[in-house]
Structure 1
């Protein structure tokens, strides 16, 4: 299995974190570490995930979420 690190910026709304984690799980990735930082109207989330699947499968789905602003590796 391969580990990946992602940095994600999203709008700060109560349901956004839940949606992000649901996408991670549904795409077959396991969260190894999660660190978040609230910046007023947005938050930054650092994720370490692991999977045998390609990271692009997860990135494409996360970018489709309306509250996700930016995603980088």
Structure 2
């Protein structure tokens, strides 16, 4: 069944609006990253926002051999 011009037009508007929203989300994320806010939140979520209080808290479990890595 063929769609009417009105139905096709509303689909285009919806697609354009979805593309605009996606672009706004990407732009906002990029701006947040550039200001350092997003990176700070990312580090907090990973628990890497500063040195650990106790080095043993980040040590591997017993029996796990972790080679030394020199960068």
Give TM-score scaled by structure 2 length: 0.24
Q: Which protein is richer in strand relative to its size? A: 1
Give TM-score scaled by structure 1 length: 0.24
Q: Which protein is richer in helix relative to its size? A: 2
Which has the greater radius of gyration? 2
Kindly indicate whether structure 1 or structure 2 has the higher relative contact order, using CA contacts under 8 Å at least 6 residues apart: 1
